[in-house]
Chains A and B, each alone.
Chain A
Amino acid sequence: MQLDAKTLDTLAWLSRLNIPEEETEALSESIAEMLTFFQQLSALDTQDVPPTAHIAPLENVLREDIPAETRLDRDLLLSGTESEDGFITLPKVIG
């Protein structure tokens, strides 16, 4: 089984990935295989079963609205980043 080309294309767009041509076949087969595997779940009776989003029994983890006393220097924050005049540089964004 393979994933159809259009679906793979949409996924690649959502993931901001290219699918190298030599990987296309193996990748769509492998994704399709995993999806089939996932479908085992459909046999499960989950009526009235609440979904678990968090595993730690916590609620209302909140911080007070108090500013930090010290902050990292911009030079340090942007070390390893392409930047100019304090801005992070990137290709021209249209729009």
Chain B
Amino acid sequence: MEYAKMNIAELSALLRNREVSAKELAADALQAIAETDGNIGAYLTVAEEEAYRQAAAADEMLANGTAGALTGIPFAMKDNICTKGVRTTCASKMLENWYPVYDACVTERLKAAGAVMLGKTNMDEFAMGSSTENSALQITHNPASAAHVPGGSSGGSAAAVAADECAFAIGSDTGGSIRQPASFCGVVGMKPTYGTVSRYGLVAYASSFDQIGPLTKNVADNAAVLEAISCHDRRDSTSLPQFDTAYSSLIGKDLNGMRIGLPKEYFGEGIHPTVAKLVRDAAQQLEKAGAVLEECTLPAVSYALPAYYVLCCAEASSNLARFDGIRYGYRAQGVEDLDQLYRKTRTEGFGREVRRRILLGNYVLSAGYYDAYYKKAQQARTLLIRAFADLFGKYDMLLTPVAPTPAYKIGEKSSDPMQMALGDICTVPVNLGGLPAISVPCGTAEEDGANLPVGFQLIGPAFSEAKLYQAAYAYESANK
């Protein structure tokens, strides 16, 4: 386990200098998983055979001079991203034994880059949740404190990175599912601009919000992974045709004159005082590094949460209708007719939260309610997009907390979906706007005798990833 703590840049240097082979790295990482994951529960599937196969391919690339930044680097994949021949469960009983016959675009990209997939990580079932407690398959513990949740829905990915069970991980973010667990676990998580990473092969939760992104040990690694996975993909109609992927290009540049807004709505009631303090401290660090900080206001945030839940549940109710027990996944036994097959399969195959959101989604789309809920939420979305656009006329980016609190205890909120939903308040506006945002660790809060990581969030206009990395890196290097 001598390599497990190293970041991508360090590992890549060792690989290039032939100080270690991809195969040795894979073996080291698999050993780390074997020794650590029993206490963490980050992985749902460890794909040992697949890992060694990819490591062999990586060693070949290293030998023949075609290696890139991620060649030979071991990583973990969230279990809602399709991996050909490797079980992809979405942490649901519905897909517990589903083996995709195709690779997601992101899977293809990482394979082509020579990265080595160690396995698939736990999550809230179908990405619905914020603590990974909604996984139908296992519990994941926060590496900083076993009694606490890792956040979610990409909780397994964040925990795997934080527990040094991989060099980086891939997550998906519909309403904060990369950023919030990154904050809870103390790693860097980026939700890129909608349309920059292909959704082809990502099992859809809410299609107009879902976006894949990296979780890493530091900022520079994060930019390197995003550079590898973002591209135009003609199989995804919402994939943007042209954009600059030089995400690392501004890393190390000074922040002189960068304008950062602090929307006061994000620091008000309901925000844990330690979280607020740590985030304000981070803001001061950025100011010291040359940025110009200013308080601002984003009142539109107040209706972001209901709008988000209406739209997400609506899209989810339709996206998850295909799980009917006929073509793939779980099929209920002992049924006599089709209606029973549908109902029994779906009732048994989906967990409680998934069923709740499907019911809600069908409510807001049904005849007579569409205008009051669904259309209204779409209009609220427009208003929020406009409000963000106004702010980005004045600021290069906004700085906010990622979540109102540090990680909570396992079981503490899981029985109260509304409490859980309110925890998404800082992250969902970004997804409504299709914007990029990064979560960067900024210290720990002492709670229940544990030191729990806290992160701050930087939100930028579409395609501002390079700038977000620039600012995040400046903060990170000032606090090493």
Contacts and interface: CB of A to CB of B under 8 A. Distances in A.
B358 A17 contact: yes
A84 interface: no
B303 A90 contact: no
Interface string A40-82: 1110101001111111101001010000000010001101111
B2 interface: no
A7 to B, nearest CB: 8
- Most A Cβ at <10 Å: residue of B97, B340, B363: B363
Question: Contact size class for A?
Answer: 35 or more
B306 A52 contact: no
Contacts of B307: 41
B379 A50 contact: yes
Contact of B359 (A17, A51, A52): A17
A6 interface: no
A18 B335 CA distance: 13
B359 to A, nearest CB: 5
B363 A76 contact: no
B340 to A, nearest CB: 8
A39 B337 CA distance: 38
B317 interface: yes
Nearest to A18: B347
Interface string B233-244: 010011111000
Interface string A14-56: 1111101001000100110111011111101010011111111
Given A33-B418, A77-B101, 14 more contacts: A8-B359, A11-B359, A11-B362, A12-B343, A40-B303, A41-B310, A42-B376, A51-B381, A52-B385, A55-B385, A56-B194, A56-B239, A90-B341, A91-B338
Interface of B: 97-99, 101-102, 194-195, 208-209, 234, 237-241, 302-303, 305-307, 309-310, 317, 321, 324, 326-328, 331, 335-344, 346-347, 350, 352, 355-356, 358-360, 362-364, 366, 372-373, 375-383, 385, 417-418, 421, 433-434
5 contacts: A8-B359, A34-B309, A41-B373, A50-B379, A54-B238
